[in-house]
Amino acid sequence: MNTALGTLPILATLIALLVPPLLSGCLWLPMNDWQHAVWSDDGEGVAFVQRSFEGQNLIDFNRGPNTSERDHEFEIYTSSLSSPDNSTQLAGPFTGNLVGLYFMASAGYLVAGRATTPSPYEGDEAPATESYDLIDLDGTVTSIAAVDYLWHGLQCEDEGVWLQNDGVVDVIPSPDGSILARLVAGLTCEDTLPVQSVTLSFLEAPGLQAIGEPLFIDTGVLPEGNECCVRSGWLADGSFAITGLGWEFPDREQEGWLIEPGGEPVWGALPGEDCLEPPTTSSVFRADGMRVWIDGDGTLGFEDEEDNPEVFGCDTR
């Protein structure tokens, strides 16, 4: 008997057993990447994160290879412009995925938001969480806000609505970093219609003492039961703006609530909807139009986009 030929049926059986699990990605493997680079508000440094997670490399014969992920964590790093490849881990690991990052170097802190969502196996009733932390430059972490909510959203009669306010929680530092705007979104049912609202609080930074009382702002009925986003951000004059009705009258002048910290909301015209993106001085664009990004392998990149920058403030565009 030819021993080599005799082993072929056995090998064929093993291949038949092993190949389908490998192609379907049943093995969860440790993976990591880098993402979400932002400038510091003074333009002298950069912050970014390294994600760690378990992943499956899947093969979809219709869409090609892709990766399924679970059990996310991330760490926050900072780097000076004088030595962008010499980064320092500031804080972490944090559970979940990053949803917001502001590097307010001139005020001595960062703000980081994170979200955890239930896996597909936990069902609609499993809670999701969004939270924001203030991180001093020595790595001390202080919670600013944390909200648990149902991932499937709200149902008014038979129609489900996803909760949207660029997330359930948002915390945005003022341009000079001295004040934090903390927003918590909510949905309620008015008869069969979903109504969205925002509770806005101003806090001193980095101490987190309250400035005035929390403000409850009704941002209106969502159109035809669809999800919609409230846009918010700081303006160059030090006021804070929230707009949520632009979808009803897309051709008119953009209007919204203008709020001075410690004051009451005043309805009025906004200087321009695009002025709310980015919402403060720390973003992917520096004031001179220089953009920063980070590749998945951790390499920082810079590009001058002075001709078409998305920098803070209407008067700088």
Residue 24 lies in a domain: no
Q: What mean pLDDT is reported for the chain?
A: 79
What is the predicted pLDDT for the residue at 173?
A: 98
Residue 2 lies in a domain: no
Classified as helix, coil or strand, 149 is strand
Average pLDDT of the segment spanning 300-316: 79
Residue 95 lies in a domain: yes
Residue 9 lies in a domain: no
Residue 8 lies in a domain: no
pLDDT in tens, 53-72: 888 876 655 555 667 788 89
Residue 85 lies in a domain: yes
Are 294 and 34 in contact, with CB atoms under 8 Å apart?
A: yes
CA 11 to chain CA centroid, Å, is 49
What is the predicted pLDDT for the residue at 231?
A: 81
Confidence check: pLDDT of 30 > 80 = yes
Average pLDDT of the segment spanning 238-250: 68
Confidence check: pLDDT of 248 > 50 = no
Average pLDDT of the segment spanning 132-156: 85
Average pLDDT of the segment spanning 248-275: 76
Higher pLDDT, 307 or 221: 307
Confidence check: pLDDT of 249 > 50 = no
Higher pLDDT, 44 or 193: 44
Residue 240 lies in a domain: yes
What is the predicted pLDDT for the residue at 285?
A: 94
Alpha-carbon distance of 96 to 227, in angstroms, equals: 23
DSSP structure class, residue 24: H
Most trustworthy range by pLDDT among 120-129, 158-167, 226-235, 294-303: 294-303
Residue 312 lies in a domain: yes
Spell out a b/e string for 25-41, using b for 16 or more CB atoms within 10 Å of the CB, else e.
beeeeeeebbbbbbbbb
Higher pLDDT, 222 or 42: 42
**Which has the minimum average pLDDT: 173-177, 230-234, 270-274?**
270-274
Spell out a b/e string for 178-212, using b for 16 or more CB atoms within 10 Å of the CB, else e.
ebbbbbbbbbeeeeebbbbbbebbbbebbeeeeee
Higher pLDDT, 25 or 206: 206
Classified as helix, coil or strand, 229 is coil
Structure pTM?
0.82
In the chain, pLDDT over 70 holds for what percent of residues? Answer: 69
| Number of domains present in the structure of the chain | 1
Confidence class of residue 74 from pLDDT cuts 50, 70 and 90?
very high
Provide the residue range defining the domain that includes 145: 30-316
